[in-house]
Every structure is written in structure tokens, then in C-alpha cells.
Structure 1
Amino acid sequence: MNKARPPQEVMQTLQIVKQTLQWRYWAWSPWLLFAASAGAQEIIELPTEDRWLTPDFEEIYRIGSLSGEPWEQFGNIGEVAFDQAGQLYLLDHHVDSIYVVSPDGEYRRAFGGRGDGPGEFRYAAEFAVMRDGLVVVSDWGYSAYQVFDASGEYERRVAWAQRWAVAVSTGLMPDPGGDGLFVATGAPIRALEMVNRGGVVTSPTTRPVERLDLAGDVVTRDTVAEGWLPGGDDPLSISTGWVGWGQAFAPRMLPGVLPDGSVAFSDSLAYVIKIARPGEGVWRILKRPLQPVPVTRAVRNAEKERRLRAAEARSAEALRIERVRNANLEFYEVVSMLRDLGTSWDGEIWVQRHGEEPSDDNGPIDVLTMDGRYLGSYPAGAVAMPDAFGPDGLVAFIETDEMDVETVVVKRVVGR
């Protein structure tokens, strides 16, 4: 094993965390909803009634096929992103390579790949694309961010501030007005950073939204806003490989960057979207007076049975693990309302609610604006949450067919 790689027990724990922490969403107390945000804030009440939108998208192109060109026989597309020219970037985890596609769907170039040489990845976990096409890749194997210019040429490496600690975070979000990144901690698993703390990885005490500065040799972090997180959780232990299961239906941390460099995020159980900016914190709050669903005994039993069925369909080992999880599973008293959030280049905030069942993440998608207008809602199942937003109304979706073949579809929002 290469000496620069993380210790084997650490990598094993990373795999456990990656497989299980998507269920680990932190609890929320109603009276502490706004406790993390001090100072003057504009609170905007959104309407209660839904105004249904008819999806109107123009398909631009689709790529990905077993019978296609070798480059588009994708193994595991983890993320996609656009630059300001409308080029699409795809990170394929199967080969640790990044592909660049023209605005009309033609292959442009590829870079990266697995290895130890300059510009190669040991473990490309996630990436971000700046407006001008500069690419930043979070590489677990190097404990660093690797930076590439707009032509895909390797530029430099920026080390993480510390090594061997776990921080469960969102994907990297590029700052539209600069060369920095935004990230939020305590969100559905997309990346882990590590820092050595005597073999025990402690949980964070808040869920901060941070801006990362990559100007130096080591990344620096500035807190934009503090998302609330209750104390008292047990640490994640590398020595035992144990990962806490968290509470079912507890609130998620859902962030997205807006075109002025603000960050919209949800960190609570209620329908509340906070908007924060560097140096000011939370300055605007958007609220819809929708009521969460209580978690009854029937809801708890149905959720446990659903998880067991899903695990059984995967493997016997998955079922064994899920039985342990079920025995220790705790439930929040009400069902978290919001399940996903995306932000467009023109300042829209797409907010996805849960569906008819509490475990259904694919409910209606509300379209808001950062200045507090409610434009309407796409009905459940009418459209998926885009995997990436781009200029001039571009959106990208990662789709998987019944044969597990991945296709990336690029469309443009035409009207509503």
C-alpha cells in the first residue's frame, strides 16, 4: 500500500460511513429553529396553497450507452456540472476520470484517471467546476484538492487543513464570484474529510456552511452560517468501525449556492429556507406554513419493514446489517418535510418535499426565487430534481435504466 494512502482501518470506516450515513440526519427542536442565526433578518411568508406547474423542457442531448463511444460507456457517474460556456463535466468514479462535453453533446476531452502521477487521482470523491471552467477535485487519497485549468491541465494541489478526521459534507459548491468553494457539514453523505484525533472521529457540534479559500498551499475555511445540531451524539469510532444510525425522518442539511454568492439552505424540520452570505450570516428566511406529518406507531412499523425489504433485495449481508439498524433505530416525532434542494444560475431555489409516504423522497418540487417569490410547484413524479443547473436554463439529469446503464440527459427549461 502506498504510504500516502489513509490507514486501512480508516478506509474501512470510510466505506461503512459512506454506506450508512445517508440515514444519519440530525435532530431539531422547534424552539431552536432560529437559534443559530443572530442579527437582523428579513422573513418572507410564502403562500400555503400549491400552484401547479406544467413541465416544459427542451431536450438538448443525451449521452451514455453500452453501444456508444468508449468514453460514454459510463461506469459510475457520481456528479455532473456546467461551466459558463454551457460545457458539461462528468466525474466517472469507476475510472476516476472527468469528461468534458460541448454544448451540443460532442466529446471535448478527458483528464484525470487513477494513479500517483501529476493530475492523477488516488480517490476522486467529488468535484466542482468554476464558471470559467477551472476544476477542483477532492481527492481522499491525497487528503487534498487538486486544481485543473480550463483546458484540463493540472495546476496544483491544495492540502486539507488537517489530516485524518471525518466531516460528513455536501458536495463542493463553486463560488460564482471567485475562486473559492462552499461546503456544508452534516448533510447527506457525499464526501468525507479526515483529521487524526487519536483514533476516534468526533461528531461536529454544529452544521456549518463554510467557504473554502484555495489561494494558498493549505485550504482555509470561513464560516458563513451555523446550522443547528444537537449535542450529545456518540463519536464515530475507527477502532470499532461503528457508525451511529441517527434518527429516522429527522431534518436534513440541504444547501445550494445562489448567483450573488449567497447560500440558501434548509437545516430544520419545518419548511424554512435560510439565505446567508459571507460576512453577514443569515439575512433572509423564506417560510411556507405547511404542517409536518406526525410519526405514529404505524409509520414507524412501515418504515422498518420498508428498510428490511430494501436490504433483503440487495444481499444477505445488507439484511443482517439492517436488522441491527432496525433494533437501534430511533424516530423523530414528526416527518422531515424537505428532502432536496437545488439552485439555478438565475437565482431560483428548487425545493423538493416528501411524497405521499413519509419515506418517499420524490415529492413535489417547489420553485422559489431568492427574493422571496413562489413561482409554483411541479407535481410529484412530473420532473426529477436536476443533478446540475447551468447557464441559460440548462439542467442535467443522471438516469439509470433497468440494466443499470447510466445516461446523462441535458435539457433546457423553456417556460412554466
Structure 2
Amino acid sequence: MRRVPYTGVALAWPLVAGPSVAQEVIELPAEDRWLEVDFADVYTVGALTGADWEQFGDVQTVAFDGAGRLHVFDGQASRIVVVDVTGRLIHEFGREGEGPGEFRSAAAMAVLTDGRVLVGDTGHRAYSMFGADGVFQRMVRMGGDPRTAIVGTLVGQPGQDALISQAAYGTEGTAVQIRNNAPLPPDTTRPIERIDLTGEEISKTTIAEAWLPPLADSMSTGMVLNGVEFKIPRPLAFGVGLHWGVLPDGSVAFSDTTTYAVKIAAAAIGVRRVYARPIPPEPITDRFIRADQERRIRELEETPDEDLGGATLDGVSLENPATVRRRRLRRIENLQYGDAVPVIRDLGTAWDGHIWVMRRGEQPTSDGPIDVISPDGRYLGSYPAGATKMPAAFGPGGLVAFIERNEMDVETVVVKRVGGP
């Protein structure tokens, strides 16, 4: 066990792209104002015994277009399902393959306002564009070093032929494909970028350089390429995540510190506004670390052999459960920690410009209340802890979508409307 100090950097504003601008800091009230959860059920898709199209294997992403149509990206089946505002199937498209319109290694999906769909494919090293009718239109090449392909989280920029993306090697939600032992330069920040799709090859503009906290020692993947062991950076336990969303004007709201600081940034300007609440992060002490490791060990001891993970082939484990337990125990004992538990656990942005901010709960690993900040920077109130999850997608007219599992452990997508019909 080792602690990696942040040396105060987590409390500072990040470097930003563009000219230096005055950053307006808006202090939000400390006291919570509780909101009533008023969500109207709209529809649910996904069923074990339903039609073939709604038997999902692995829902990776969901997104709405400007007409309120829901797009579901099933990574296991390499397909995209599109349903109307009542949950009825409109069409589905996509399949594995080498040709145009087929997916070699689909990593992420985004939907533009007009219904066009972009799929980032590390195998093709391109973004495949489909029309609102699901028909393949063209590919936009990634460019850069042809030996590498990196695709991060993608969100369509409202009203533009562009995406907003965040991709840093070794961070959650980033897919990397490497050929011929290509070197990957170490990231020094976590850039949030605008990806222009109008040409044959993408062009990028940096919106903000979010802070990249220290990483723990590299972790082996168990893969050896041409005699070289392949390793990835290991994030710290309770490390500082990068939580972000796109606002209606194309700017982004993001959080990249241990403190309660939601930053608003735009291309060529950088961070122009910060929303802050006086909610301090919990320090990580030696006592905290001992309690956390004891909790992790208890959970490991209570985990059945069949749920331990490890190498599998066709769903059958290739490793002795005792071997897997020993390896996971070593990882727990060697965990590295930062200085504090971040206050913010997640962030989302609604189509009308409201910002949803999920805080940590009573326990360091639990979800807490969700604060709602208005487009003009006012604190409107908070949904109590456990009253609602953070939506996986926001849509027009107050639509929100949640990826859930039902009582049969079947993956479903539940669509609701905030504030009722």
C-alpha cells in the first residue's frame, strides 16, 4: 500500500487552450435543497423473450437525436438499434466485417442532432457515418500515426458536423489499438477535444486541458508482443475522475478535481466559469486505507468462485479459482491511493442546459445526492441519495434514459421524462 500525493494540484484550475480569460467563480450555497423526483415512465426496451432486436447482449452507449429517437449501441452484437418516441423499432444496422459500413472493432457511438450516427472504429482507424435512415454514408479517417488508434467517449456537438471527445491512454472509456509495437507517448493532461467531421480526415480543436492526476505504477496485462510485455497505467484507488458533458452551445461542463468545482469551457476560450460548492473532500489517511483494504478483502472472500473473473474461453474459466484469489489479494495489498476522496462522482448535461452533478454518498464508494444547476448558474436543488441514478443519456423535452438490469438479469433501457408528461 502506498499513497501518491497530489501536492495540491487537484485544487488548482487546469491548463486551458486559447487565450487567457477571466474565470468567473460562482459560489453555490452550502445547504442542500431537496427536489421531488417527478419522472414519468415513457417506455422500456430489452427483453429475454422479446423480439430479436431487443435481446441486448452488452449495451455500451445510448443516445437521443433531436426528434427524441433513442439509439442503442450493443457492443456484443456490433449493432445499433433505433426506436421511436414510444419505444417501437424503426430500424437496426451494423455488423462485424471488413467493408464500408461494417465494424472491425467498434469502440464508441455518438448521435448528431439530425439523427446521423458516428461510430469510432479502432480497426478501421476511422469514424463511420450513417444517415438518419441507418444507411452507411462515408468514413472519416482518424489520421495520425497509422500504427495506433485511440477512441474515447464520444458525444455529438449540437447542430454541428462534429463530435466532442475525451480520450487519454489508460483512462476509463478509452479503446486503444496498437500495431507493430508503436510507442504511445505518455499523456500529461486529459484533453477534451472537438472533432471536426467535414473533411476526409478529422481535425481536432482542444476545448480544455483537464488535469491528469498521478497514476499508480503500470499494471501488466499479461500480453507479450514481440518479446515486450504490454502494460497499462493503473489508476489510483479513489482517484480523481474526469466527468463531463456537452452543453447546448457546444461548450462543455466538466469536473477534474477532488473539490466541488464544475468548470465551463469553450473552444478558443478555455475555462470561463466555475461553479463551486463549499463541500470538502474526505482526506485519505492510514486509517482510511486500512478500513478500505479490509472491506475489499471481505468482499473478495464473499465472492463465489464462478464470479471471480480471470481468463475464460467460451464462458469457461481457464484458471484455478485459488490462483485468481491470490492475484486479486495481491492487487488489494498493493493498491495505491491519493490524498482525498473526490466530492464529485459523475456529471451529466441536459439538452436545455441544466447540469446534473452526482456527489459521493455517506460511504466513499456509494453514490450520493444529485445536484441540479440551471443554465444561468443557479443551484436549483438536489435529488436525495438513492432517489435516482445518473441518466446514461439525456434527450429533448426532458427525456432521460437509464441502462438497467431487470429481475431476470436481462439488460434493458428505461426511458423516462423529467417533470412528467
Q: What are the within-5 Å matches in structure 2 for residues 294-309 of structure 1?
A: 294-309=283-298
Secondary structure of the corresponding residue to residue 85 of structure 2: coil
Q: TM-score of the superposition, structure 1-length normalised?
A: 0.87
One-letter identity of the residue aligned with 1:252: G
Distance in 1 (alpha carbons) for counterparts of 2:397 and 2:151: 32
Pick aligned residue for 1:372 from 368, 377, 390: 377
Q: TM-score of the superposition, structure 2-length normalised?
A: 0.86
Partner of 2:212: 229
- Compute the RMSD of aligned alpha carbons: 2.4
CA contact (8 A) 2:123 2:177 kept: no
Segment of structure 1 superposing worse, 217-226 or 182-191: 182-191
Alpha carbons of 1:110 and 1:376: their partners in 2 closer, same or farther (altered >3 Å)?
Answer: same
Pick aligned residue for 1:134 from 103, 111, 116: 116
CA contact (8 A) 1:26 1:247 kept: no
CA contact (8 A) 1:166 1:201 kept: no
One-letter identity of the residue aligned with 2:12: L
Segment of structure 1 superposing worse, 30-39 or 97-106: 30-39
Segment of structure 1 superposing worse, 149-158 or 297-306: 297-306
Distance in 1 (alpha carbons) for counterparts of 2:133 and 2:5: 41
Segment of structure 1 superposing worse, 212-221 or 391-400: 212-221
Alpha carbons of 1:213 and 1:377: their partners in 2 closer, same or farther (altered >3 Å)?
Answer: same
CA contact (8 A) 1:200 1:236 kept: no
Q: What are the within-5 Å matches in structure 2 for residues 161-180 of structure 1?
A: 161-162=143-144, 163-165=146-148, 169=152, 171-180=153-162
Alpha carbons of 1:232 and 1:295: their partners in 2 closer, same or farther (altered >3 Å)?
Answer: closer
One-letter identity of the residue aligned with 2:15: A
Give 1:271 deviation, angstroms.
0.3
Distance in 2 (alpha carbons) for counterparts of 1:31 and 1:115: 44
Partner of 1:206: 189
Partner of 1:3: none
CA contact (8 A) 2:14 2:209 kept: no
The answer to whether residue 198 in structure 2 is matched with residue 215 in structure 1 is yes
Distance in 1 (alpha carbons) for counterparts of 2:414 and 2:242: 27
Distance in 2 (alpha carbons) for counterparts of 1:392 and 1:35: 33
Give 1:295 deviation, angstroms.
1.4
Secondary structure of the corresponding residue to residue 292 of structure 2: helix
Alpha carbons of 1:158 and 1:379: their partners in 2 closer, same or farther (altered >3 Å)?
Answer: same
Distance in 2 (alpha carbons) for counterparts of 1:90 and 1:388: 10
Alpha carbons of 1:222 and 1:28: their partners in 2 closer, same or farther (altered >3 Å)?
Answer: farther
Please list the CA deviations of residues 346-404 of structure 1 after superposition, one character each: whole Å capped at 9, or x if unmatched. 001111111111122x2111111232111111111100000100000000011113542
One-letter identity of the residue aligned with 1:349: I
Distance in 1 (alpha carbons) for counterparts of 2:401 and 2:289: 35
Distance in 2 (alpha carbons) for counterparts of 1:145 and 1:319: 40
Percent identity of equivalent pairs: 46
The answer to whether residue 73 in structure 2 is matched with residue 91 in structure 1 is yes
Alpha carbons of 1:370 and 1:321: their partners in 2 closer, same or farther (altered >3 Å)?
Answer: farther
Alpha carbons of 1:208 and 1:197: their partners in 2 closer, same or farther (altered >3 Å)?
Answer: farther
Secondary structure of the corresponding residue to residue 364 of structure 1: strand
Segment of structure 1 superposing worse, 300-309 or 69-78: 300-309
The answer to whether residue 86 in structure 2 is matched with residue 80 in structure 1 is no
Pick aligned residue for 1:39 from 21, 37, 40: 21
The answer to whether residue 414 in structure 2 is matched with residue 391 in structure 1 is no
Distance in 2 (alpha carbons) for counterparts of 1:306 and 1:167: 35
Give the greater-gyration-radius structure (CA): 2
One-letter identity of the residue aligned with 2:13: F
Alpha carbons of 1:183 and 1:310: their partners in 2 closer, same or farther (altered >3 Å)?
Answer: farther
One-letter identity of the residue aligned with 1:122: R
Give 1:126 deviation, angstroms.
1.1
Partner of 2:316: none
Alpha carbons of 1:134 and 1:28: their partners in 2 closer, same or farther (altered >3 Å)?
Answer: farther
Distance in 1 (alpha carbons) for counterparts of 2:44 and 2:143: 39
Partner of 1:349: 355
Q: What are the within-5 Å matches in structure 2 for residues 11-410 of structure 1?
A: 27=6, 29-30=8-9, 33-37=12-16, 38-162=20-144, 163-165=146-148, 169=152, 171-186=153-168, 189-194=172-177, 198-229=181-212, 239-310=228-299, 313=303, 314-315=307-308, 316=321, 319-360=325-366, 362-410=367-415
Segment of structure 1 superposing worse, 259-268 or 308-317: 308-317
Give 1:269 deviation, angstroms.
0.8
CA contact (8 A) 1:202 1:235 kept: no
Give 1:319 deviation, angstroms.
3.4
CA contact (8 A) 2:215 2:236 kept: no
Q: Mind listing any 5+ residue stretches in structure 2 that lack a counterpart? A: 309-320
Alpha carbons of 1:166 and 1:215: their partners in 2 closer, same or farther (altered >3 Å)?
Answer: closer
Which is richer in strand?
Answer: 2
Distance in 2 (alpha carbons) for counterparts of 1:370 and 1:227: 22
Please list the CA deviations of residues 117-174 of structure 1 after superposition, one character each: whole Å capped at 9, or x if unmatched. 32111122110000000100011221211110111110111122233447584x1011
Alpha carbons of 1:26 and 1:59: their partners in 2 closer, same or farther (altered >3 Å)?
Answer: farther
Distance in 2 (alpha carbons) for counterparts of 1:138 and 1:357: 36
Residue correspondences, number: 389
Please list the CA deviations of residues 3-32 of structure 1 after superposition, one character each: whole Å capped at 9, or x if unmatched. xxxxxxxxxxxxxxxxxxxxxx99573476
Q: Mind listing any 5+ residue stretches in structure 1 that lack a counterpart? A: 1-24
One-letter identity of the residue aligned with 1:29: G
Segment of structure 1 superposing worse, 98-107 or 177-186: 177-186
Partner of 2:312: none
Distance in 2 (alpha carbons) for counterparts of 1:126 and 1:155: 18
CA contact (8 A) 1:257 1:264 kept: yes
One-letter identity of the residue aligned with 1:396: A
Secondary structure of the corresponding residue to residue 319 of structure 1: helix
